[in-house]
Chains A and B, each alone.
Chain A
Amino acid sequence: MIELHGVRVHFPLRQGLFEAFRGRPRGAVRAVDGVDLRVGASEVVALVGESGCGKTTTGRALVRLAPITAGRVVLDGEDVTNLGGAALRAYRRRVQIIFQDPYESLNPKQTVHDIVAEPLEVHGLARGAEREERVGRALEDAGLRPAGAYRGRYPHELSGGQRQRVAIAAAMVLEPAFVVADEPVSMLDVSIRTGILKVMLDLRESRGVGYVFITHDLSLAWLIADRIAVMYLGTIVEEGPAAQLVASPAHPYTQALLSVMPSPDPKRRRRRTILAGETPDASRIPPGCRFHPRCPLAFERCRTEEPPFFEVGPGQRAACWLVESGRALPVVGTTAAAGTAAAPPAATAEP
């Protein structure tokens, strides 16, 4: 199991000499601002949100590519937040990442074989015939069959779908326990997507790989994930079993996102809740509930106090003052509730 406990990733802002001289505190972009997440073996957890919500940075923090300002990353009970050197390399062997753009993420000067063999080389695993065999198996598992037909090719000779399969093979060749997949199909045509998603889900079945699936597309998350976590401005605002969360969203932001999701059935035109404006700047996070300036249901308390998580259904929880009364009781004593509630409203950095 891989866990995030109150993880924060803050990027300090550049400050002018004048501001420094006046003694103004240096601001920060709070890209990830207290995220708790848990992914078990063979589990698919989708991180959903709009651009700038921190979903990609959260994924990068999980693989230790983003600098973690506060909080802990724990893999199978072992704290890996501050690993370095060989220990970090060993960690990355177990937790891999697949990037969004298969046109950018593959080295154009390497053959498919070299791209997939490189992780083995870097980690000093499997030599000679064994390496060949593992590369071949990874390619075939990713649906590039027969592997021999692809080994000698260069990325430009492949279609977008095939490139993403190569990226999957390069991540899977190390036989990781967890994979962070950052929008792995959003650059691909719909008819190609299914094949890629199938490959990923097959590996979950056969090898028990757990996924953090990052996407802006709530309907895609609903389709493939066991659980969905909805992010807004650096925090998770609602989390729950995928089908249940989509059927009965509790947080006004999740509700709004669902209401604007276009439906392929023209007979079903829903009442849309269109929020004004765009996601605000992560360097100027509003006090209280960070969603309150755009929330159609905000009331006084939302402007001053940040809501903790409240249980709204089996395994489903939402950070919203509205669900506190009536619907359910707050989740007491979990790290999540403590993590978000303990943070003073307008804190800039250290929790």
Chain B
Amino acid sequence: MALLEIRDLVVHFRIRGGVVRAVEGISFDVETGEAVGLVGESGCGKTTTVLAINRLLPPNGRIVSGSIRLDGEELTALRRGAFRRKRWKEMSVIFQGAMNSLNPVLRVGDQVREPILLHEPGVTRREANRRVSELFELVGINPARKKQYPHEFSGGMRQRVMIAMALANRPRLVFGDEPTTALDVMVQAQILELLERLRREFGLAMVLITHDLSVVAETCERAVVMYAGQLVETGPMELLHDRPLHPYTLRLMRSVPDVEGPRDLGAGIPGQPPDLAAPPSGCRFHPRCDHAVAACLAAFPPGRSFGTGHRVACHAVSDEGRLRAPSELPLLSGAAVVLAAEESGAELAMLDHPDDPPGVEGAA
């Protein structure tokens, strides 16, 4: 049994005049002590997934269906009080943008102490203070700075405070929502190394939410790739890098500059992510996909497993686990447009139009 098991999670947001289908039936596991990257571009539902797991969705968002199990216990069935006792103690979140997540008028030490006093009633103030000092040392801040306020800390130091806070109740699972995105590369390296060390020392499981595939490659064993609310591919990071099967993963991998790879711009991905209030039918990637066939419009393909934990949801992948080349597929007109554009020297920009994504014409 995995530490965290997500099954067919569906999350919707009510908005004026409709529903945003932010997460549409995703399933994945996180094992004890494992680091899993949750990757995808803005609006793919990665942050929503984490908010849903931690019951932090805004009022207009709700879990429509699906199951979230922590150590086999169904979290969606828990009453509010019982859930609160899990949060921080069993799992916690390091939020994006440490700049705004700390209270500017409270001393940082007091902010880190708060979850300890709140969730562990047996702990005395003195004991809690001692633990705050330990936590500060752990994340590389001089404990003497406990009495300072957030504005006296640099961005990297504030992110360390956020990490100390997330670890205050010694959870077994930590979610990091773009924990290094606002930071410089050098500070990012410091923070990633710190997380790595904490993971080793405490057997901490970690879910790292990021748009940066390189950061995931450096820190995680496995990754879950999301596109527009759907899980398109998951597997060991090495397989995703060397042999991605889903056309989206493939394109995404090629869009990341790698100083030891070829020095060309690559093709990027034509078009742009869909409006989730009116998502494309079937596989939501089909309007931008150069492998799209008729089946892609009809239904989101079931995930199929190939080898060690490598699972992909794509109609263009053969039963032997190979992404069929566009020439082997009865392509949709939309996909043909994408291909033709690319061959003719990539006038991809003309497809960058919100009202008429190319694949939709093929659907009509």
A-to-B contact residues, CB < 8 Å = 50-51, 142-145, 149, 157-159, 161-162, 165, 189-195, 197-199, 201, 216-220, 222-224, 243, 246, 256-258, 260-269, 272, 274-276, 278-279
Q: CB of B188 within 8 A of chain A?
A: yes
Q: Assess the B255–A219 pair: CB atoms within 8 A.
A: no
A330 to chain B, nearest CB (A): 28
Given contacts A143-B350, A195-B348, contact A261 B185 (CB under 8 A): yes
Chain A residues in 8 Å Cβ range of B154: 278
Partner of A265 from B184, B252, B260 at Cβ < 8 Å = B260
Q: Assess the B218–A278 pair: CB atoms within 8 A.
A: no
Partner of B185 from A50, A192, A222 at Cβ < 8 Å = A50
Which of B114-122, B168-176, B264-272, B309-317 interfaces with chain A?
B264-272
Q: CB of B42 within 8 A of chain A?
A: yes
Chain B residues in 8 Å Cβ range of A262: 188, 192, 212, 214-215, 217-218
With CB as the reference atom, state the residue of chain A lying closest to B42: A189
Q: Assess the B252–A191 pair: CB atoms within 8 A.
A: yes
- 15 A-B interface contacts by CB (under 8 A): A145-B347, A149-B353, A159-B352, A162-B352, A191-B255, A199-B349, A217-B185, A224-B265, A260-B189, A264-B213, A264-B241, A264-B256, A266-B218, A274-B193, A279-B184
Q: CB of B263 within 8 A of chain A?
A: yes
Q: How far is the CA of A262 from the CA of B210 in the complex (A)?
A: 13
Q: Assess the B272–A161 pair: CB atoms within 8 A.
A: yes
B347 to chain A, nearest CB (A): 8
Q: CB of B346 within 8 A of chain A?
A: yes
Q: Assess the B189–A274 pair: CB atoms within 8 A.
A: yes
Q: CB of B186 within 8 A of chain A?
A: yes
B-to-A contact residues, CB < 8 Å = 41-42, 154-156, 184-190, 192-193, 211-215, 217-218, 237-238, 241, 251-253, 255-260, 263-270, 272-273, 346-350, 352-354
Given contacts A195-B349, A219-B259, A243-B263, contact A189 B211 (CB under 8 A): yes
Q: Assess the B346–A198 pair: CB atoms within 8 A.
A: yes
Q: Assess the B259–A246 pair: CB atoms within 8 A.
A: yes
Q: Assess the B193–A191 pair: CB atoms within 8 A.
A: no
Q: How far is the CA of A195 from the CA of B253 in the complex (A)?
A: 16
B351 to chain A, nearest CB (A): 9
Chain B residues in 8 Å Cβ range of A193: 255, 268
Q: Assess the A266–B186 pair: CB atoms within 8 A.
A: no
Q: Assess the B186–A264 pair: CB atoms within 8 A.
A: no
Q: Assess the B238–A267 pair: CB atoms within 8 A.
A: yes
Q: Assess the B186–A50 pair: CB atoms within 8 A.
A: yes
Chain B residues in 8 Å Cβ range of A260: 185-186, 188-189
Q: How far is the CA of A149 from the CA of B348 in the complex (A)?
A: 16
Partner of B268 from A51, A195, A265 at Cβ < 8 Å = A195
Chain A residues in 8 Å Cβ range of B214: 261-264
Q: Assess the B255–A272 pair: CB atoms within 8 A.
A: no
Chain B residues in 8 Å Cβ range of A269: 218
Q: Assess the B259–A222 pair: CB atoms within 8 A.
A: yes
Q: How far is the CA of A192 from the CA of B271 in the complex (A)?
A: 8
With CB as the reference atom, state the residue of chain A lying closest to B41: A189
Chain B residues in 8 Å Cβ range of A278: 154-156, 184, 186-187
B66 to chain A, nearest CB (A): 26
Chain B residues in 8 Å Cβ range of A144: 349, 352
With CB as the reference atom, state the residue of chain A lying closest to B354: A159
Given contacts A193-B268, A264-B241, contact A51 B184 (CB under 8 A): yes
Q: How far is the CA of A192 from the CA of B257 in the complex (A)?
A: 13
With CB as the reference atom, state the residue of chain B lying closest to A192: B272
Given contacts A145-B350, A162-B352, A189-B211, contact A265 B241 (CB under 8 A): yes
Given contacts A272-B189, A278-B187, contact A194 B217 (CB under 8 A): no
Given contacts A161-B272, A201-B265, contact A223 B257 (CB under 8 A): yes
Chain A residues in 8 Å Cβ range of B268: 191-195, 198
A181 to chain B, nearest CB (A): 15
Chain A residues in 8 Å Cβ range of B42: 189
Chain B residues in 8 Å Cβ range of A272: 189, 193
Q: How far is the CA of A223 from the CA of B257 in the complex (A)?
A: 7
Q: Assess the B260–A268 pair: CB atoms within 8 A.
A: yes
Q: How far is the CA of A274 from the CA of B190 in the complex (A)?
A: 7
